[in-house]
Amino acid sequence: MTENALDSRLAVVILAAGQGTRMKSSLPKVLHRIGGRPLVGHVLDTARDLAPAHVVVVVRHERDLVADAVLGVAPEVVVVDQDEVPGTGRAVEVALDALGDFDGDVLVLSGDCPLADAGTLGSFVAEHREARAGATLMTAVLDDPTGYGRIIRESDGSVARIVEQKDASPEEAAVAEVNAGMYVFAAAALRAHLPRVGTDNAQQEKYLTDIVALLRQSDGRVAASVAKDVTVTYGVNDRVQLSEVGRLLNARTVRRWQLEGVTVLDPATTWIDVTATLAPDVTVLPNTHILRSTSIAEGATVGPDTSLVDCEVGAGATITRTDATLAVIGAGATVGPFAYVRPGTELGERGKIGTFVETKNSTIGVGSKVPHLSYVGDATIGRNVNLGAGAITANYDDISKHRTEIADEVHAGSHNVFVAPVRIGEGAKTGAGAVIRKDVPAGALALSIAPQRNTAGWVENNRPGTGAAEAAARARSAQEAGDGSQEAADG
């Protein structure tokens, strides 16, 4: 966010009262998320970049949900309730009341149009001011204008009025230039004309767009700005558009990081939330999701097939085919392939969480390794520890969770179970297959398994006729023949 000087002549009104029927959702449309934020959150963020003196958000449908989401990220915003009169015109009218005697320019945006960036909108406001118009519309020429209001121009090229899809004649519907739903109005023009807008139309709503014709009738100036990049005008009305607009936003985010020095092999399968941060010389391999507050330090490599949610990844770390949430991965550490790294995992510098390893609420110290097939939960592991393949911390006794403490320089054998609460002292060793139920003192060797006992001939006696018994018999004969010839040679 840029810290611009406050523009005391600018107010932004964001319309977010509609239900979003076409989403077919219990969640209000403007709270559906792309790029890690609700649609309205992107609009709010852009609005704040313009440093207006006022931001007003109009709510009605699920008003508490929407108001909480808005105030949660932008407490300075004024939330205004639309009454039972429906339509975008009414929404702006109630916002205008909240602006008191403000007499500057009012930029009207929709909570469902998240792609308009501050650069585009800043120029749009500047154009309006230069034109000294009562209203300036943003328009777009679309291959398929279906659903949008159409811009009807006079023979001299000036805008005469806007006609909604549902009210359009076939000739009007054939017009490809549409109303993008973003406007700058002189507050005085809104005050003069909004009360005169009626509801005599197909939707029985008070259309904001009707103000254009009213302004013209009273000799007001209406200017129009045709968007050079039509994508900034795209709105979300259904879930097809939600994914399309989400993909466009993501493409923009990926490109921004590429220009900041991040290598992204396949932008089409790389998803980066607008809230994530990446350092130069990070490499992102295909099918990777970098979400929420995740930060990735210089020279790290993530992916392929990796999802990081709220993670902090240190410089030069490597994370491969991993699902990680709320984890801190130290510099130069390696994770995966096929690791499940759950909240509260902290892996130290040069540490390793290896293949088919699950971790949770555990600290794994500098240089320590959990390389293969393990579960480490509620554990504190010191420096330069090595856990053998198949290590399990049995942290749960059916009633509560307990911690396992493994001190510096411990080397644990393969297939150990640490029954928590338990502590393995500094430099201790454990044997293969050990079930560690009691603390191990520093420097001790812990073995917990009974000595191995072999019962000769068991398979031939107990599994006659099986392949195993036949193989055993062959081995026995070969052994006996060998012994015989040895005896003969010796004899």
Phi-psi region of 362 (alpha: psi -120 to 50; beta: other; left: phi over 0): beta
Contact call for residue 181 and ligand UD1 (CB under 6 A): yes
Contact call for residue 18 and ligand UD1 (CB under 6 A): yes
Contact call for residue 208 and ligand UD1 (CB under 6 A): yes
Interaction with ligand UD1 in 443-482: which residues (CB under 6 A)?
none
Contact call for residue 47 and ligand UD1 (CB under 6 A): no
Q: Determine which residue in the list 62, 93, 105, 164 makes contact with ligand UD1, applying CB under 6 A.
A: 164
414 annotated to bind ligand: yes
Which residue carries 């003969």 as its tokens? Answer: 488
Q: Are 48 and 122 in contact (CB under 8 A)?
A: no
166 annotated to bind ligand: no
Given the complex with ligand UD1, which of 60 and 423 has the nearer CB atom?
60
Question: How near is the Cβ of 249 to ligand UD1 at its closest, in Å?
Answer: 16
b/e per residue, 219-241, with b = 16+ CB within 10 A?
Answer: ebbbbbbebeebebbbbbbbeeb
Q: Determine which residue in the list 235, 314, 330, 377 makes contact with Ca ion, applying CB under 5 A.
A: 235
Question: How near is the Cβ of 238 to ligand UD1 at its closest, in Å?
Answer: 10
Given the complex with ligand UD1, which of 209 and 395 has the nearer CB atom?
209
Select from 202-210, 291-299, 308-316, 459-467 the region that touches ligand UD1 (CB under 6 A): 202-210
Q: Determine which residue in the list 36, 38, 149, 246 makes contact with ligand UD1, applying CB under 6 A.
A: 149
Distance in angstroms (rounded) separating the CA atoms of residues 245 and 242: 5
Contact call for residue 55 and ligand UD1 (CB under 6 A): no
Q: Quick check: helix, strand or coil at residue 211? A: helix
The two tokens of residue 308 are 């990081």
Please, which residues have CB within 8 angstroms of residue 399's CB and are 6 or more apart in sequence?
A: none
Look up residue 205 and give its amino acid.
Answer: E
Is 372 considered catalytic here?
Answer: yes
Given the complex with ligand UD1, which of 29 and 369 has the nearer CB atom?
29
Q: Are 445 and 429 in contact (CB under 8 A)?
A: yes
**Kindly report the CA angle at 382 between 377 and 387, in degrees rounded to 5?**
60
192, HSE (Cβ side, Cα atoms, 13 Å): 16
Question: How near is the Cβ of 181 to Ca ion at its closest, in Å?
Answer: 6
432 annotated to bind ligand: yes
The residue nearest ligand UD1 at its CB is 149
Distance in angstroms (rounded) separating the CA atoms of residues 303 and 288: 6
Q: Is the peptide bond before 451 cis (omega within 30 degrees of 0)?
A: no
Contact call for residue 209 and ligand UD1 (CB under 6 A): yes
Contact call for residue 88 and ligand UD1 (CB under 6 A): yes
Contact call for residue 114 and Ca ion (CB under 5 A): no
The two tokens of residue 293 are 């507050």
Given the complex with ligand UD1, which of 235 and 367 has the nearer CB atom?
235
CA distances (Å), origin 473, targets 216, 458, 464, 480: 105, 11, 10, 10
Among residues 193, 289, 372, 402, the one annotated as catalytic is: 372
Contact call for residue 46 and ligand UD1 (CB under 6 A): no
Number of residues that bind ligand UD1 (CB under 6 A): 27
Given the complex with Ca ion, which of 19 and 123 has the nearer CB atom?
19
Distance in angstroms (rounded) separating the CA atoms of residues 197 and 89: 7
Closest CA to 40 of 118, 113, 88, 111: 111
Distance in angstroms (rounded) separating the CA atoms of residues 226 and 124: 10
Site map 273..312 versus ligand UD1, x via CB under 6 A? ----------------------------------------
Q: Quick check: helix, strand or coil at residue 143? A: coil
Select from 106-114, 224-232, 282-290, 366-374 the region that touches ligand UD1 (CB under 6 A): 106-114
Question: How near is the Cβ of 244 to ligand UD1 at its closest, in Å?
Answer: 14
- The listed partner (Ca ion, ligand UD1, none) that binds 111, CB under 5 to 8 Å by sort, is ligand UD1
DSSP 56-111: EEEEBTBHHHHHHHHHHH-TTSEEEE--SS-SHHHHHHHHHHHTTT--SEEEEEET
**Kindly report the CA angle at 472 between 467 and 473, in degrees rounded to 5?**
100
33 annotated to bind ligand: no
Which positions lie near Ca ion, rule CB under 5 A? 235, 237
Q: Which residues are catalytic?
A: 372
Which positions lie near ligand UD1, rule CB under 6 A? 15-18, 58, 82, 86-88, 90-91, 110-112, 148-149, 162, 164, 178-181, 207-209, 235, 237
Q: Residues comprising the binding site for UDP-N-acetyl-alpha-D-glucosamine?
A: 15-18, 29, 82, 87-88, 110-112, 149, 164, 179, 237, 342, 360, 375, 386
Q: Residues comprising the binding site?
A: 15-18, 29, 82, 87-88, 110-112, 149, 164, 179, 237, 342, 360, 375, 386, 389, 395-396, 414, 432
